[in-house]
Amino acid sequence: MYLPVRRRLRLALLPLALLLTQVALAQSTPTVIGTRAALTTWSDPLEALGTLSADESVTLSTTVTEIVADINFQDGEQVEAGQLLIQLEDGEEQALLRASQALREERRNASNRASQLQDRNLAARADVEDSQSRLRQAEADIQAIEAQLENYQLQAPFSGRVGFRNISVGALVTPGMDLVTLDKLDVMKLDFSVPEVFLGRLSPGLMLNATTAAFPNDIFSGEIATIGTRIDPVTRSVNVRAELDNADGRLRPGMLMEVIVQQRVRDTIVIPEAAIEPSGDRHFVMLIEQGDTTRLARREVVIGERRNGEVEILEGLAADNLIVVHGLQLARDGQEARLIGITDDENGIRELLEADR
């Protein structure tokens, strides 16, 4: 088919125009935003689910059958070690104690008289020894009664917070009856299990963070205290116990917590993931070299772990190296570039772009 000369000329020049456009775009000065490679503490997170328990926990009960005479605590009260919580009726035992104390006084006097008579050679040594033996027996009887009286007083074995009381004054209690719970809550135990393949990465003192649905915006920090001595043959996991500080008392026994163990803690170079330019199985970043002009230089890096939009750099960068984090699409090795800003804690990419408008 015959085409006019002008039309054929336009068609012939079209590829050349496209080529010139691409060259012009390639030679144009790109606008970039930079960020600095940071040397920071990095770890490989290990996630698990755990359950909280109190540092110390006990359900108090009595060892005798008796009527409650007095209750010296309120529900949920903080009590101190040794504080009297419940007093049972002990009138009969108190009477026996007074009788034994009177008998001891009598036998002490008799022993003293026998000793005085022996000093004057008016009493046999055997009589003195018999009186002293009867005195020791009276003292032993008093100690036995005092030990029995301790069973009529329910004291806090350690400092902690009591739960709901399930009895009232005048109630008859029997041995083994649950009377009140006591929990030591200033430190909490967090028990969880991890697969055995991670056993070599765990050690006492390793830091962890934990969250709970009750306080979704808060992170509770702690450290591993103990690692189990056995691997479960069914689940192939090992039990781990951590300790969390709970000075404010918000955490409670039985809570379910999401645990992130900070394993293999190390100092490494970290950059935003957006600064990485992948090419097959290789990775590159665009360095920003500042001098008389701002020029770009493509550099290959070796990456490690990734997390939350960040990536670990094993080789290829040093701390404080300035790299392109925005504008990589038009950035080319060796080009001059216009740097409109460097991201930091106060200014992100969006803020720098809005400030450049």
Q: What is the pLDDT along the chain (357 residues), one digit of tens a residue?
A: 444 545 554 545 455 545 544 544 445 788 999 999 999 988 778 899 999 999 999 999 999 999 999 999 999 899 999 999 999 999 888 899 899 889 888 888 888 888 888 777 766 777 778 888 888 998 998 999 888 898 999 999 999 999 988 889 999 999 989 999 999 999 999 999 999 999 988 889 888 999 999 999 999 999 999 999 999 999 999 999 999 999 998 999 999 999 999 877 788 999 999 999 999 999 999 999 988 889 999 999 999 988 888 999 999 999 999 999 999 988 899 899 999 989 988 888 888 888 877
Backbone φ, ψ for residue 110 (5° rounding) = -65, -40
Q: What is the pLDDT of residue 165?
A: 83
**Helical H runs in 28-90?**
none
Cα-based angle 228, 59, 183 (whole degrees, multiple of 5):
65
Cα-based angle 335, 337, 340 (whole degrees, multiple of 5):
165
Q: What is the pLDDT of residues 110-136, one digit of tens each?
A: 888 888 887 777 667 777 788 888 889
Taking the C-alpha atoms of residue 253 and residue 160, their distance in angstroms, rounded to an integer, is: 13
Taking the C-alpha atoms of residue 153 and residue 72, their distance in angstroms, rounded to an integer, is: 11
H or E element that contains 339: strand 338-342
Q: What is the pLDDT of residue 107?
A: 85
Q: What is the pLDDT of residues 141-169, one digit of tens each?
A: 899 988 889 899 999 999 999 998 888 99
Q: What is the pLDDT of residue 8?
A: 52
Q: What is the pLDDT of residues 232-260, one digit of tens each?
A: 999 999 999 999 999 998 999 999 999 99
Rg (CA), the chain: 40
* pTM reported for the whole predicted model: 0.63
Taking the C-alpha atoms of residue 214 and residue 58, their distance in angstroms, rounded to an integer, is: 24
Taking the C-alpha atoms of residue 76 and residue 187, their distance in angstroms, rounded to an integer, is: 17
**Helical H runs in the chain?**
5-27, 91-119, 125-150, 349-356
Q: What is the pLDDT of residue 15?
A: 55
Q: What is the pLDDT of residue 346?
A: 85
Cα-based angle 280, 285, 286 (whole degrees, multiple of 5):
130
Q: What residues form DSSP beta bridges with 79?
A: 160
Instruction: Sort strands 294-307 and 282-290 into parallel, antiparallel or unpaired.
Output: antiparallel
Backbone φ, ψ for residue 169 (5° rounding) = -60, 135
